Chains A and B, each alone.
Chain A
C-alpha cells in the first residue's frame, strides 16, 4: 500500500501498474507454448474516416472462432477519452483488456498532470502497449487497434494505425483494419469525400462495412431481424459521441433501401 504514497515514477498508469501489480498487465501474461489464436474469438472489421471538423469510426458486431460465429453483438469501438476512441481487431479478449487499460492510461495522465496528452502522445502510448504484446502475438493472440482522435491543435480528426510490432502510422483520410479491411478500404476509397459532413462520412463508413460483410465471412452485416447495428462513433470539437441505436437503425434502413435497387451500393462517378 505504501507504493501508492511514495511512488515517484512517471504519470503513466501502465508503468505504475508494472511496479505495483504487474500481474494485471495484459502483456505480462505467459505466452502459451502452442499457438492458440484459432480457438479464441476474433474481432473483425473496423473503419475510420476523417470528416469536416472531426473523425468517424465504425465497427461491425461479429466475433468469430474459426468458422463459428461466437458473438453477434460484440462491441469493438471504445471511447478512450473525451476526444479519442479506439477500435480493435484480432483476439477479442486481449483487445478488450487493452482498451480498458488504455482508457485508464489516458485518464491517469490527465488527472495527475492536469492536462490531456497531445494526440501524438496518445498514439505513441498505444504503440508501446501493442509492442508489449508482441510475444503473445507470435502465439496467435494478435491485437491490432485503430486509433482515431479529434486534435484540437489542428481542429480536425486524425487516424493512426498499428501493426503487431507497434507503430503508430498516421493514416491520411481513412483507414480500415481486420479481416474485412481489404474490402472496406476499397469501398471507402471510392466513397470517401474529403471535408464531407459527419453525416455523409457516417454513411460512407456504413457502406464500407456492408461491403466488407458482403465479401468477408468473418464480418457481420447489419442484423435487421435482431436489430443489431454497427457501433458508430463521431468525434468532433464537441467531444466523443456514440450514435444511439435508433439513429443508426434509420441510417442502415436508408442504406438497405437503396441497396434493394442497387445491391452493390452507391457508385463513384467515373468522370
Chain B
C-alpha cells in the first residue's frame, strides 16, 4: 500500500506536538507552588510588574502558569469567568479547585488533540482549605494531564532540578519565611545569584484571611519577609550541617513528576 505524500503517523504527530510544547515551556523560568503552615505559597522570578504569572481566581483558589503569556492569560481569564459564574449561580463555597482543574484539563486536552499547535503552557491550580490536609495543588500540563500534587509543585524552566532542590528543604508546616527561603534556594541555581525582591512575584493563599484568601506580597512587606527568611535560616547554611538537620525533610516519597521530562 502506498502512503500519501507527506504522511505522518498519529504517534509521530503527537510526539512532535509534545516536543514542541516542552521546548517552549522549558525556555522560561520555573515557578514554585508549595504548602506552608498557614496556606499555600507561590513564588515566581518575574521582572515584570504588570504581566503576572500568579493570580487570584476566586476566594480560596490561586493560579500560577509558565509558558506563553497570551496563552495562559486567556486560560486565567476563562478560569475567573468560570469561578465567578459558578459562585454567582450557586454559592461562593461551591467553587472548587477540582472543578476548575477539570475545566482546564478538558480545554488543554482538546487543543492538544485537535489543533495543529498545542498550548505552550503549564499551570497550577491551588486551593487553600480549612486545614493543611484540605489544601489542594493540581498541576496541569499542555496535553491536559492533571496531577494531584502533594505539598509542592514546580513548573517551567528546569523544573526537575528545581523540584529536587526544593524537596531537600521541604518540610511540613513550615512558617512563611522559611518556606519562602526554601523556594528561593530551589529557584536559584547552585552558585547562582538570587533574584532581588523587585524581580520576584510572591503571593499567598492565607487561610487565616477573611473573605478572599489570596494576597500578593510586594514592596516593603516582601523585603521584610525576605530579611527574616535569610536571618532565620542562616545557621544551616554550611553544607555539612544539612546532613544532620534535627528535622529531616518530610517531602512526599517518590519522584516529583515535573511533566517536562520524557
Contact = CB atoms under 8 A, between A and B. Distances in A.
Contacts of A169: none
B181 interface: no
Given A111-B55, A111-B56, A111-B57, A104 B84 contact: yes
B217 to A, nearest CB: 15
Contacts of A5: 74-75, 78, 107
A16 B83 CA distance: 13
Contacts of B103: 1, 4
Nearest to B52: A114
A17 B88 CA distance: 10
Interface residues of B, number: 21
Interface in A119-176: none
A107 interface: yes
Nearest to A105: B84
Contacts of A79: 211
- Dominant SS at the A interface? helix
A7 B87 contact: no
B82 A4 contact: yes
Contact of B80 (A17, A101, A108): A108
Contact of A24 (B57, B89, B212): B89
A4 B211 CA distance: 25
The B interface, classified by DSSP as helix, strand, loop or mixed, is helix
A118 interface: no
A105 to B, nearest CB: 9
A110 to B, nearest CB: 8
B77 interface: yes
B84 A108 contact: yes
Contacts of B240: none
A5 B78 CA distance: 5
B245 interface: no
B88 A24 contact: yes
Contacts of B57: 111
A236 to B, nearest CB: 16
Interface in B78-106: 78, 80-82, 84-85, 87-89, 103
Given A5-B107, A111-B55, A17 B85 contact: yes
A7 B103 CA distance: 16
Given A4-B103, A5-B107, A111-B57, A21 B77 contact: no
Contacts of A7: 77-78, 81
Interface string B103-124: 1000100000000000000000
A51 B81 CA distance: 37
Contacts of A21: 85, 89
B1 interface: no
8 contacts: A1-B103, A4-B85, A5-B107, A7-B77, A16-B81, A17-B85, A79-B211, A111-B57
Interface of B: 50, 52, 55-57, 74-75, 77-78, 80-82, 84-85, 87-89, 103, 107, 211-212
Interface of A: 1, 4-5, 7, 13, 16-17, 20-21, 24, 79, 100-101, 104, 107-108, 111-112, 114
8 tightest A-B contacts by CB? A5-B78, A4-B78, A111-B80, A4-B81, A104-B88, A108-B84, A104-B84, A4-B82
Given A17-B85, A24-B89, A114-B55, 8 more contacts: A1-B103, A4-B81, A4-B85, A7-B81, A108-B84, A111-B55, A111-B56, A114-B50
